[in-house]
Chain A
């Protein structure tokens, strides 16, 4: 009976997986800030829809993000003097160069969101895609991207000069992801699907049918996200708000975000930063231990 539970195997897996993450002991934000907030926008417009071979109206729905949504988000952040991070699908540079230039001129960060919203399985092609995106973003912004939101191989990201990824949620707080030898590899700025506009407002997430949609409205999401913010604020934490220009660029949602940011600003010690700024702070003030301490249970 006990044998069939494969307890040893489960324990080993738990240890192995935990060993891949190194938490930062006592995270302290600069200038006495109580919380760091990253507003992030995943700018793929219609590219993921195209990649998935979705029909014309789905592509048009995504196109809203390029024609309208991205401009409104830039305007919103600028009005609040917030610098945001725009995770940009590489090929967007060939479709929306004006919007990306405007974002850079306003001081927002451009970061990698894959070349065409996928990570190829073939290692050479993965590297090729990663480099194509970096070159495309550098051409627009004048500097190489330092962050990614992707499944790209952590060691590859690191060897290509990336300092952070913003993709998973094994911890509330920024932490280090280790390589297979247990050495720190890349900083992770966690994002969670509960703080992702597409989960509430975008129909057909990975082709889910109409009857399965997670319907919501801006009042409800405002309340949920405020609750997330205040919970982290009270414990000196971190919040990464994931937006999609084709979703949050809709007028009703820009108005909701405007209210949310204004309310966040009523509290002292809220550090609105780009992901790069948060990553640099962590790396400088809370560098990783060279080797992960042994995991004990």
Chain B
């Protein structure tokens, strides 16, 4: 595409519906992400977050309920786990892998890295990777920077170096990209075509924004809207042969009426024939093999011109 640094992260046009193939002729990929962060602010998980009813519920009852529902519906998920969380509950986190789920890194403590110097961010990525590896016995292949409820924006916070550092650290995919609704390449350097695979994320399919206690604004309880959004997107993406993703937080979705919403949705989902339900790593490996960047990332030099009085 006409590449433009600091404007675009990928090529000009997404893959068309008809060009997408899933393994064994499946019709739609289903990626379920469970976010195990309970961070309430940009500093990431702090003691006061741990000493909260939401954390207690999310880590124990809520998580158990979500796991049981996934199991009942024979679904696998990717768990986005902050490194400190993995170290606090090693048996629980190891147990997720034993059940066939994937554990991916969700920062050192799910902190905002957007203003960090490159070396500092690199050190944190390396430390988080090592802490998670210690618990699970295997190196994580996926990284997440999911948003917190209190963030100014609902896309997740990264720095201008994050993607490059994740490539350096050997990560295979980044779990929350917003530029597409199928896996896509996030280019960190145009000249060298350096890129990491991003899996789609969208806040309209993330429970945390529909289940907010209204500190301000119009949050309130909107799990009915969440259900309608999930269903509408699943139906539409299924017809297009594309990709569906949802993001769950046990402390939010595990609660009473919301658990019923999740149950209802998953039983609807599992009735659709020919779904493919990979973990993030399975999906990323399949995509990298089938649609490698070398042949499928179509970058063209910028035709952007700088003018006085205009943005550069």
Contacts and interface: CB of A to CB of B under 8 A. Distances in A.
A48 to B, nearest CB: 11
B299 to A, nearest CB: 13
Contact of A219 (B7, B160, B203, B232): B232
B192 interface: no
A55 B13 contact: no
Interface stretch (B76-84, B130-138, B217-225, B272-280): B217-225
Nearest to A247: B204
Given A60-B179, A67-B13, A209 B218 contact: no
A211 B153 CA distance: 10
A149 to B, nearest CB: 19
A63 B155 contact: no
Contact of B209 (A67, A120, A207, A213): A213
A208 B222 CA distance: 18
Q: Is the interface of A mostly helix, strand, loop or mixed?
A: helix
Nearest to A203: B154
B157 A204 contact: no
A267 interface: no
For A61, A128, A210, the residue with the greatest tally of chain B CB atoms inside 10 Å of its CB is: A210
B8 A46 contact: yes
B216 A209 contact: yes
Contact of B214 (A125, A211, A214): A211
B2 A217 contact: no
Nearest to B12: A98
Contacts of A67: 10-14, 179-180, 184
Contact of B14 (A71, A94, A132): A71
B182 to A, nearest CB: 9
B155 A94 contact: no
Interface in B279-312: 302-305, 307, 309-311
B10 A250 contact: no
Contact of A68 (B176, B181, B214, B235): B181
Nearest to B6: A50
Contacts of B155: 55, 57-58, 60-61
Contacts of B232: 217-219, 252, 255-256
Contacts, number: 181
B229 A252 contact: yes
B123 to A, nearest CB: 21
Interface string B94-130: 0000000000000000000010000000000000000
Given A57-B178, A61-B155, A61-B178, A210 B209 contact: yes
9 contacts: A56-B9, A57-B147, A96-B1, A204-B153, A211-B149, A211-B150, A215-B222, A251-B233, A251-B240
B210 interface: yes
A51 interface: yes
For A57, A58, A251, the residue with the greatest tally of chain B CB atoms inside 10 Å of its CB is: A57
B27 interface: no
Contacts of A212: 216-219
Nearest to A208: B217
A284 B52 CA distance: 68
A255 B153 contact: no
Interface of A: 46-47, 50-51, 54-61, 63-64, 66-68, 71, 91, 94-99, 115-116, 120, 122, 125, 128-129, 132, 201, 203-204, 207-220, 250-252, 254-256
B53 interface: no
B236 to A, nearest CB: 4
Contacts of B6: 50, 59
B153 A58 contact: yes
B12 A254 contact: no
A98 B2 CA distance: 10
A151 to B, nearest CB: 17
Contacts of B175: none
A64 B179 contact: yes
Q: Is the interface of B mostly helix, strand, loop or mixed?
A: loop
Nearest to A256: B232
Contacts of B217: 208-209, 211-213
A59 B209 contact: no
B233 A63 contact: no
B229 to A, nearest CB: 5
Nearest to B204: A201
B193 interface: no
B153 A64 contact: no
Given A66-B12, A201-B204, A212-B219, 16 more contacts: A56-B158, A60-B186, A64-B181, A68-B180, A98-B12, A120-B309, A125-B309, A210-B152, A211-B218, A211-B219, A214-B218, A215-B222, A220-B225, A250-B202, A251-B236, A255-B236
A252 B229 CA distance: 7
Contact of A204 (B114, B154, B233): B154
B273 to A, nearest CB: 19
A285 to B, nearest CB: 39
Contact of B153 (A57, A125, A129, A254): A57
B44 interface: no
For B7, B12, B304, B311, the residue with the greatest tally of chain A CB atoms inside 10 Å of its CB is: B7
Nearest to A47: B7
Contacts of A201: 204
Contacts of B218: 211-215
Contacts of A128: 309
A115 B209 contact: no
B269 to A, nearest CB: 14
B191 interface: no
A212 B147 CA distance: 15
B296 to A, nearest CB: 13
A95 B303 CA distance: 8
